[in-house]
């Protein structure tokens, strides 16, 4: 096999054979194929795409590059959720314990934030002692004991994806439906759950702001999951406005705990409960997730999960030393609070990272004091910026320019759950 022949085939719009795909991924993973050659093939895929059979093979080989977790020792039905990322998207934090309280098991392998979108692991590390790096044995033990675990994927899970993802990030080859779908699904299928629900965000704060592209990605991922024996569905959810009332690691943990205690904002609860119901349906579990909030069982599962991962559920979450309010420029109705602007502001305050190795602040972020549809008076606070570094305030304010729109009339209501996609 010659890597140049494989590159030429895709460059010229031909379908890669199963043999070519397996050889390329195996050879790139073991270092036989150079980064610059892999980059050329990735760019050809961005241009030419992949047909469904070709993509299914590509994904299967990525899964086979490492281990597939064995969850057969888990007595309960296993189901997970994956979000494509957004601003204020702390859904995973209340969702996993809610699913456990309903009698299913959620082995949630999560990631870190990059740019304006937050990462679940960064949020959880705002909790004193919380450990995200677990061995497979620890993960299975917690899953059996508690029913929920949120941790990082181990190095043995889809190592080909880890290497290809890092290359895509620096070669302008991220924006490709086949490459995004295979990256997400290779990890999620290797996770070994019986069922999977995908939360595909759409809007200004989402990775894919275009509805048609988001729908295509969701349909592609659902097909891949089903083809590999994982019951899969997707919800397209709105990400034009930050979800909930905060964007920032510790701030979102505090909000998630409040939600588990029955004091969650309406939009966060609507999305969380919609995903929970979809997950339980796929898992074959007949239970009402809202009841776990009312009876306190979801909060009890949260505390058990945090403790099992060496965190202290009673420890104070870090608080920022500097707070600055952003006030309304005029009276009227808040018509728009742009999710991307708020996400970039939180990033500039220290809550996010530009490179994977950058540190993040547990206390930095943005609190939404008003949401679209709320009445505001001139000079009334709309947002509160939190940081430990005063020099970060001005860049954050710059990110918010044009992101807060006040008008005389209320905006047209936008649905949070845009569409359900099933096989």
The catalytic residues are 82, 161, 168, 183, 187
Closest to 326 measured CA to CA, from 243, 385, 248, 260 = 385
Closest to 255 measured CA to CA, from 330, 177, 307, 317 = 317
Closest to 200 measured CA to CA, from 316, 101, 278 = 278
Residues 108 and 282: beta-carbon distance below 8 Å: no
Return the structure tokens found at 420. 């359900």
Return the structure tokens found at 46. 């961005």
SS3 call for 352? coil
* Complete DSSP assignment for 215-256: HHHHHHHHHHHHHTT-EEEEEEEE-SS-STTEESHHHHHHHH
Buried b (16+ CB within 10 A) or exposed e, 172-198: ebeebbbbbbbbbbbbbbbbbbbbbbb
Closest to 312 measured CA to CA, from 303, 322, 299 = 303
């Amino acid at each position: 096999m010659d890597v140049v022949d494989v590159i030429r085939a895709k460059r010229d719009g031909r379908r890669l054979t199963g043999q070519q795909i397996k050889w390329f991924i195996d050879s790139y993973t073991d270092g036989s194929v150079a980064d610059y050659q892999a980059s050329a093939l990735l760019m050809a895929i961005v241009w030419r795409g992949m047909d469904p059979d070709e993509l299914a093979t590509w994904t299967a080989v990525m899964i086979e590059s490492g281990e597939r977790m064995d969850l057969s020792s888990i007595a309960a039905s296993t189901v997970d959720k994956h979000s494509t990322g957004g601003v204020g998207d702390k859904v995973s934090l209340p969702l996993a314990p809610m699913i456990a309280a309903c009698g299913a098991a959620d082995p949630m392998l999560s990631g870190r934030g990059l740019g304006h979108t937050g990462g679940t692991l960064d949020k959880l590390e705002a909790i004193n002692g919380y450990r995200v790096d677990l061995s497979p044995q620890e993960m299975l033990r917690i899953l059996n004991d508690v029913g929920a675990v949120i941790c990082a994927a181990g190095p043995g899970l889809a190592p080909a994806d880890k290497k290809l993802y890092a290359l895509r990030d620096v070669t302008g080859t991220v924006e490709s439906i086949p490459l995004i779908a295979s990256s997400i699904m290779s990890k999620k299928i290797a996770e070994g759950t019986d069922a999977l629900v995908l939360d595909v965000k759409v809007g200004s704060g989402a990775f894919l702001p275009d509805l048609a592209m988001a729908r295509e990605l969701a349909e592609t991922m659902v097909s891949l999951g089903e083809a590999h024996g994982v019951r899969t569905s997707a919800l397209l959810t709105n990400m034009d406005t930050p979800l909930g009332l905060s964007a920032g690691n510790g701030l979102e943990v505090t909000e998630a705990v409040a939600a588990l205690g029955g004091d969650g904002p309406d939009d966060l609860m609507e999305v969380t409960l919609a995903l929970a119901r979809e997950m339980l349906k796929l898992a074959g579990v007949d239970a009402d997730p809202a009841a776990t909030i009312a009876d306190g069982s979801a909060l009890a599962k949260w505390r058990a999960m945090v403790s099992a991962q060496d965190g202290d559920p009673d420890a104070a979450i870090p608080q920022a030393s500097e707070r600055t309010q952003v006030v309304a420029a005029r009276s009227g109705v808040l018509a728009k609070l742009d999710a991307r602007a708020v996400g970039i502001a939180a990033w500039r305050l220290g809550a996010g990272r530009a490179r994977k190795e950058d540190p993040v602040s547990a206390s930095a972020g943005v609190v939404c004091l008003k949401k679209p549809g709320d009445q505001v008076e001139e000079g009334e606070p709309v947002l509160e910026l939190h940081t430990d570094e005063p020099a970060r305030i001005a860049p954050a304010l710059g990110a918010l320019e044009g992101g807060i729109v006040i008008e005389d009339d209320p905006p047209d209501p936008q649905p949070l759950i845009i569409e359900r996609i099933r096989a």
